[in-house]
Structure 1
Amino acid sequence: MADIIRTQYQHFVPQFLLRNFSHVHKPRKGDREKKKHPKGKGEKRIYPGDRVVNTLDLSEDPPVLCEARVNRIFGQMDMYRDTSKDSPEQQHVEEMFSKLEGQASIVFRKITKAFEQKEPGLWLTREEKDLVRKFLFLLQYRGSGYHQRFYRDRTEDYDANDRELLWEYMAEKGFKQPMDVWLHNLRTIMELRMDPEKKWIHDLPKCMYTDDAMGFIIHAEGMYMAICTPSNAGDEFILTDNSYNVFEGPNCFVTDKSTGKVEGSAHAPLHHFAPISAKLMIILRSFVLPVPEEDANPRVKEERDELHFMALGAVYNQEVKSVLSDLPIAKARNNYSKIVGGRLQLLEGEDGKHRKDHKFYFKYFPIHANHVQTINGIFLYNAYLCSRIVFGTKDNFSRTLEEYLTANCNIITGDDVERRLEFLKKLAAVSKVLGSDKEPLWKEEPNPEMEDYEGFRLGILEMRRQHSKMIKGDMKLDNDLEAVQMYRSLGGTEGTFFMDMDQARRMWILRVKIDVWSQGLDESLRQRNRLLLTESYCRLPSSRVWFYVKHIRAAVSGQLKELETNVDLGDGLQGPEDTIAKAAHIIKPQRLAQLIYQAATNDIALKESPEINLWAKIDKLDMDSFKQLKLLRRLNASELQHIRHCGIDEIEQVAREEETNVFKEGIRSREEAGNSILEEGERIELSTRMRVRSKFVKALRGKIELTLLKALKEVFFKIIFPTPV
């Protein structure tokens, strides 16, 4: 006899969390009670003692304020049925969820119980913390949004922007449908052991679809967790189908000029949310945002600034600020470190390694009403595709709706503009039913147009493809290539090569766009913006700056045909920056990126003006001498203007000694540099350079190979620190 395939109503928001928003149904006076469940539609009826939640049912038109049973909302039939298995095993993913939910519910109950007992916070073990982090990601990944992404009858119907990558992965692993990939990913994460040593981070991308594996790693390791509660006793958090999927942070869309379609171009989650109850919310905050006690360490601060720039500065058109930047939360304290003088310090006996017996103290952070409404507003903005909104009390929900609808920040843009507008109007009607007499406010903003979105998408896709191969160890750099050798000499690795290449491309795009956007402004202001951007770039890894100057060189030479493309490191892009890369081991790391940038840009400037004799004697300021002086000062318009700051210890020492000698010997030695029209400080510097040049090879002999040393001398005194002959 064939196995009977039973259907199941499967929740994407667990019932143990829904119960935290619920109450016992008490029929109003005069309501007729039923003694047994009716059939058909009547099965939706609610009976005394049922656990119910207050909801706005968005599936009705107009939406209806009503109660709904906990066990029949935020789910759908057979959501996790694995049709690739025999019938007895088709619900195995749901069975795994049930087991994991049972484990997670114990920890979540521990969180709610401590809060109910008015404790200021609670301790969680590393294992409990990691279980919560895994469970929070699964709440996002198992949700209706991901189900809709993967649930396709045919592989070719999968239309997310990673479609080519997914198709390649399916072909490689033998998956027949995108749904099979999703179910496999879910199983892999549920079965994952998050060891304290974090070896799992290295192993996971090899066990599942790499893009989604990286999503889990960033979610679990790139954000820290805090627990919040409204400081005002009357405020409450709401809950929607996709509360666990939405994020706060830049989310940019463009209109593809060739198709007219609105497409996503970039996004950066700064905060994720996980409602536990109407009074408790877990918030995940990105590590690119400040952590004062860690940032007191200059090295950590530098690394965070780099992360911030990679995630935001190199991608977006302007400084990105989180609307929750002032949210009063902090990282959990632990039992292996303490804060001394505002800085983290390990306790005696700790060596910085993660251990199973470590514990973490999570404080309940009270947050102001404006923060509660901001978070609720994020949920409402993203609820236009949802089936329900769950809330605590009608009074609070009425206030939440009114504040959201009358806020000045309701901007309708991005994708699905018509549906968003229709939804906003529905909420406005509900708000009036609840007693509001205020008119809703919103404005529509068009999406910027992009000439070749498909080219842009495929370019990003290729970077992700190469990065995936690197992570999994499927691809090795050709170490025989000179470009790869130089990249490695700057500290680059196989794991960072394609990321640095992609980030350099983004840096170049931003540099070009800033010039375009600032057209018409005062030129001194535009130049100041360029210098500030360059200073920011030169704080990044020198390997990435090396890639960036190749974009500059390619653009100047005409090899970079399209703004969005990557450079080809083949013939025609060699330059003095390569000599600096080869000599990187004798240069201070903090100066290396600046030397690379200055070598490339000075070389380009000199080649653009071959007719100018840089060292011709200037007696009067005519047009030729003006151009000469302008070029000379342009070549020295950097933090590396003085050779005593060149970044090579031995040369810096010689430069300091020779500069002192120039001062001692007086004006005659300074006139060696010629050009009486130059300022005194400039003439002193040129005289110093001339003296250092004569001692350069001797000072560095034995430090690097002689041929490279002579080439480095040429680059220093002809290009980076141009010196009279």
Structure 2
Amino acid sequence: MAKSPPSQPMYQHFVPQFLLKNFAHPYKPEGSGTEGSKGKGKRKYEKGMFPKDPVVRNLDLRADPPTICEKPIKRILGQMNMYSDDSKPTHQQQHVEKMLSKLETQASIVFQKIVKAFERKEDGLWITRDERDLVRKFLFMMKYRGSGFHNRFGHNKAEDYDENDRELMLDYMTKKGFKRPLDVWFHNIKTIIELKMDFEGKWIEELRHLMFPPDAIWFITHVEFSFMAICTPSKIKDEFILTDNCYGVFEGPNRYVMDKDTGEIGGSGHTPLHEFAPVSPKLMIVLRSSILPNPLEDANEDVRKWRALQKFMALDGVYPDKVKSLLEDLPVAKAHNNYTEIVNGEIRLLTGEDGRRRRDHKFFFRFFPVGTKHVDLINAFLLDNIVPCTSVMFESIESFSRTLESYLTAPCTIGKHVTGDRMEQREADLKTLERISRSLGSQKETVWVKYKPPLVHNYKDFHQKHVDRGRAFQRMLDNMEEGKESMEGVSWEDLQWPGLPMFVDPTYNQNPKEMFIADLEHAYRMWRLRVKIDFWSKGVDEAIRQRNRDLLTEAYLRLPPVQVWLYIKIARFIMLSLDIDQLFVDGPEEVIGRVGNIIKPEKLTELMYKSALNDIKFRKHPDVDIWGEISFDAFGAEILMLLRNCAFEEPGYIRDCGIEDVEQLARAAQLEILRGGMHTRSRLGSKFCDEGQRVELLTRVLVRERFTEALRGKVDQFSLEKLKKVLFETTYPTPPPTWRY
């Protein structure tokens, strides 16, 4: 690509000066107080600094050795020509910098309101919905415009791009006609800055088509799946720090694996639970994940269940160990607003509000006082991620000395794990921080831990599965919308009717290929509508949201069984983050479908759906046995919640399953139990189940004993055994004979 002559060199900040000024003080040269004295006042100015210039105290990690000094804000946290686009004519090469400057100007007005309200010692401040959305967009851009992403995208050749999404990026560049990864970055920045975030949420659907899809999804998640809170130290001595990459630091699991044969190390998964945005030494914006507890909202049982499911999908079903946020007890809450009220501990819409987002909505953001423990933790997460950084900025030496010592001497539960793909640099940085801490007077013992990541047999294959899944899912979305015949890069011939149940419409024999693809497209639209409804109804009372979900599900279950079957397949694929080769692996829905001749037609889709939903939940918790010992701790509570949800709330009564022979068995068994008072004598579920639930469990036990004989000859023996396993282990979980809780 021919390049235009470069424009005038320009130092371009990736952290705007309006934020740096909040950490700055006027420069006072050494000896400036005796400027008229002999031998004083000459050559005391540091290079590029003059009296009263705004400067920051800074741990300069690029100096040899690293040292604490002062730096002018006009020459820190930036790079020369960082956003210069030499593919454009000379007069247009700063088009990205100009867009960023415009965004900074708009955002600075809101941030100034925050700082001024704090300086006036107010409890907080009101901001409009437009202002809140602007801040969320700006905070994402603070991550996305940083030096790390400049390094990620800063290549003039496609083949030089070497990140873990390389294949997806090259596919995207080919499809969209981009020649350089740098052009993709500039385009994404432009797209986000110019994005009109309409209140109806249409932008969520549109954004994926406007920019690199994985980064579009990342932005949507950033805006929609966390809430913003403003923290301030409760003690005068405590302060927040600022680093190069602090706006991209998160608290939450961040895992690596190592190739057993080659020693190659790479990421295997991460889940942000808290993200950070320093505003000043006394103000820190924290983005808190929506999957963490919220007592006010969780007073609504439907909301609590929804949050628990989201937590399962993001944490419990992803990581083998139990993940707990170190900041779960951070004393913050969602902003109040002018369209809801709290009545008897529940959030309700005010009269005249219909749940739609409007421009006149406002939000009151409190300044939440946080103690030394939480200030130190937040600073620790920033210090724990300084490997790519050049600077650590702070206001007072005393506060920085104390917070640095706290980080280095704290137990390694907060971090300080020398692992991952930059182990040597990480250990060197920890030793640097230790030397600085010693120079500031600390005598306490510092600690960190070195360990090798878990081993995998072939990291390239491990990574390629994730790439293939992302590529395949992207193609599925694209091809469905474009009406193409292929699905996720898999040809019709490759599908070979995998797992296709026997309940398909007989007319499939006339035109199977076209009918299958039409039903697949319809099933995808069903899933997309389900997701849209959740996005559109944010802010509506959760009971209303759940009612809408239930009504939608009821409507879906009246559709042709093959469309419901495909909807289940897509839901499982997404909810369990499966690989493409697992899309059509048999599940309980196939077992149900293959014995459809003994199921009431109006009950077939409902039985498939209930079976699949329970199966997904159980797969999310492979280490949880609902019939295991229930201890009085968090793990026991998790077992009990899964037991109640999967055994009772989701499936209902086995007497209503839709299989006439099973329903007759259940009614007879229930009558036998009640007449004989078995439920009052049995210990089955006596500790944790009410009377109705104990009767239901005993009914299932008796039905299971008589099941095979009652249905013998109605279906083949193989299908009968499979159906028995699905019904009593998944759809209507039934306890083993030894269970007596």
Letter in 1 for 2:461: G
Task: Describe the superposition over 1:219-266 as per-residue Cα deviations: whole angstroms up to 9, x where unpaired.
Answer: 111111111001111100000111111111111111122331211111
Query: Structure 1 333/720 Cα, relative in aligned 2: closer, same or farther at 3 Å?
Result: same
Inter-partner Cα distance in structure 1 for 2:143 and 2:315: 23
Aligned to 2:140, what secondary structure does the other structure show? helix
> 1:468 corresponds to which residue?
474
* Residues 1:340 and 2:364 aligned together: no
Query: Structure 1 542/325 Cα, relative in aligned 2: closer, same or farther at 3 Å?
Result: farther
Q: Which moved more, 1:194-203 or 1:654-663?
A: 654-663
The structural deviation recorded for 1:439 is 2.6
Inter-partner Cα distance in structure 2 for 1:682 and 1:208: 52
* Residues 1:317 and 2:320 aligned together: yes
The structural deviation recorded for 1:417 is 1.1
2:421 is aligned, of 415, 424, 429, to 415
> 1:165 corresponds to which residue?
168
* Residues 1:431 and 2:440 aligned together: no
> 2:524 corresponds to which residue?
493
1:593 is aligned, of 613, 632, 656, to 613
Inter-partner Cα distance in structure 2 for 1:392 and 1:109: 19
Q: What count of residue pairs does the alignment treat as equivalent?
A: 604
Letter in 2 for 1:662: E
Inter-partner Cα distance in structure 1 for 2:526 and 2:63: 51
Aligned to 2:420, what secondary structure does the other structure show? coil
Inter-partner Cα distance in structure 1 for 2:448 and 2:709: 69
> 2:631 corresponds to which residue?
none
Inter-partner Cα distance in structure 1 for 2:141 and 2:725: 59
> 1:144 corresponds to which residue?
147
Aligned to 2:387, what secondary structure does the other structure show? helix
Q: Is the 8 A contact 1:470 1:495 kept in 2?
A: no
1:286 is aligned, of 286, 289, 302, to 289
Aligned to 1:416, what secondary structure does the other structure show? helix
Query: Structure 1 714/597 Cα, relative in aligned 2: closer, same or farther at 3 Å?
Result: farther
User: TM-score, normalised on structure 2?
Assistant: 0.73
Aligned to 2:363, what secondary structure does the other structure show? strand
Q: Which moved more, 1:151-160 or 1:419-428?
A: 151-160
Query: Structure 1 415/714 Cα, relative in aligned 2: closer, same or farther at 3 Å?
Result: closer
Inter-partner Cα distance in structure 2 for 1:180 and 1:549: 33
- Residues 222-233 of structure 1 correspond to what in structure 2 (within 5 A)? 222-233=225-236
> 1:648 corresponds to which residue?
657
The structural deviation recorded for 1:93 is 0.6
Q: Is the 8 A contact 2:255 2:270 kept in 1?
A: yes
Aligned to 2:248, what secondary structure does the other structure show? coil
The structural deviation recorded for 1:564 is 7.4
Q: Is the 8 A contact 1:10 1:76 kept in 2?
A: yes
> 1:178 corresponds to which residue?
181
Inter-partner Cα distance in structure 1 for 2:107 and 2:725: 66
Superposed CA RMSD:
4.3
> 1:266 corresponds to which residue?
269
Q: Is the 8 A contact 1:236 1:279 kept in 2?
A: yes
Inter-partner Cα distance in structure 1 for 2:7 and 2:573: 57
> 1:670 corresponds to which residue?
none
Task: Describe the superposition over 1:84-124 as per-residue Cα deviations: whole angstroms up to 9, x where unpaired.
Answer: 21111000110111111111100000111111111111111
Query: Structure 1 681/141 Cα, relative in aligned 2: closer, same or farther at 3 Å?
Result: closer
> 1:28 corresponds to which residue?
30
Q: Is the 8 A contact 2:655 2:667 kept in 1?
A: no
Aligned to 1:164, what secondary structure does the other structure show? helix
Inter-partner Cα distance in structure 2 for 1:647 and 1:543: 24
Query: Structure 1 302/69 Cα, relative in aligned 2: closer, same or farther at 3 Å?
Result: same
Query: Structure 1 568/363 Cα, relative in aligned 2: closer, same or farther at 3 Å?
Result: closer
> 1:123 corresponds to which residue?
126
The structural deviation recorded for 1:445 is 1.4
Letter in 2 for 1:257: K
- Residues 163-562 of structure 1 correspond to what in structure 2 (within 5 A)? 163-409=166-412, 410-472=416-478, 473-474=481-482, 493=524, 543=569
> 1:555 corresponds to which residue?
none
Aligned to 2:359, what secondary structure does the other structure show? coil
Task: Describe the superposition over 1:545-593 as per-residue Cα deviations: whole angstroms up to 9, x where unpaired.
Answer: 9669999xxxxxxxxxxx9783363799995144489955344966653
The structural deviation recorded for 1:286 is 1.1
Query: Structure 1 159/597 Cα, relative in aligned 2: closer, same or farther at 3 Å?
Result: closer
Inter-partner Cα distance in structure 1 for 2:647 and 2:726: 15
> 2:538 corresponds to which residue?
none
The structural deviation recorded for 1:493 is 3.0
> 2:739 corresponds to which residue?
none
2:64 is aligned, of 56, 61, 65, to 61
> 1:509 corresponds to which residue?
none
Q: Is the 8 A contact 1:57 1:66 kept in 2?
A: yes
Q: Is the 8 A contact 2:593 2:604 kept in 1?
A: no
* Residues 1:567 and 2:574 aligned together: no
- Residues 104-115 of structure 1 correspond to what in structure 2 (within 5 A)? 104-115=107-118
Q: Is the 8 A contact 1:408 1:441 kept in 2?
A: yes
2:12 is aligned, of 10, 13, 21, to 10
The structural deviation recorded for 1:386 is 1.0
Letter in 2 for 1:9: Y
* Residues 1:97 and 2:104 aligned together: no
Inter-partner Cα distance in structure 1 for 2:341 and 2:402: 42
1:720 is aligned, of 727, 731, 734, to 727
The structural deviation recorded for 1:715 is 6.8
Inter-partner Cα distance in structure 2 for 1:584 and 1:147: 54
The structural deviation recorded for 1:438 is 1.8
What runs of 5+ residues in structure 1 fail to find an aligned partner? 35-40, 501-540, 552-562, 599-637, 668-679, 697-706
The structural deviation recorded for 1:437 is 1.6
Aligned to 2:279, what secondary structure does the other structure show? strand
The structural deviation recorded for 1:67 is 0.9
Q: Is the 8 A contact 2:264 2:459 kept in 1?
A: no
2:668 is aligned, of 654, 658, 680, to 658
- Residues 667-706 of structure 1 correspond to what in structure 2 (within 5 A)? none
The structural deviation recorded for 1:173 is 1.4
Inter-partner Cα distance in structure 1 for 2:140 and 2:696: 60
Inter-partner Cα distance in structure 2 for 1:682 and 1:92: 68
Inter-partner Cα distance in structure 1 for 2:708 and 2:108: 71
What runs of 5+ residues in structure 2 fail to find an aligned partner? 37-43, 505-515, 532-566, 619-645, 678-694, 735-741
Aligned to 2:49, what secondary structure does the other structure show? coil
Query: Structure 1 162/284 Cα, relative in aligned 2: closer, same or farther at 3 Å?
Result: same
Query: Structure 1 470/31 Cα, relative in aligned 2: closer, same or farther at 3 Å?
Result: farther
2:80 is aligned, of 70, 73, 77, to 77
Identity of aligned residues (%): 44
Inter-partner Cα distance in structure 2 for 1:4 and 1:78: 10
* Residues 1:135 and 2:155 aligned together: no
Inter-partner Cα distance in structure 2 for 1:466 and 1:475: 16
Q: Is the 8 A contact 1:226 1:330 kept in 2?
A: yes
Aligned to 1:385, what secondary structure does the other structure show? coil
Task: Describe the superposition over 1:54-87 as per-residue Cα deviations: whole angstroms up to 9, x where unpaired.
Answer: 1111111111211110111000100001122111
Q: Which moved more, 1:124-133 or 1:312-321?
A: 312-321
Task: Describe the superposition over 1:352-397 as per-residue Cα deviations: whole angstroms up to 9, x where unpaired.
Answer: 1111111111111111111111111111111122111100100001
Inter-partner Cα distance in structure 2 for 1:445 and 1:59: 27
Letter in 1 for 2:279: I
The structural deviation recorded for 1:431 is 1.0
Q: Is the 8 A contact 2:256 2:268 kept in 1?
A: yes
Aligned to 1:415, what secondary structure does the other structure show? helix
The structural deviation recorded for 1:314 is 2.0
Query: Structure 1 248/492 Cα, relative in aligned 2: closer, same or farther at 3 Å?
Result: farther
Q: Is the 8 A contact 1:655 1:689 kept in 2?
A: no
The structural deviation recorded for 1:714 is 8.9
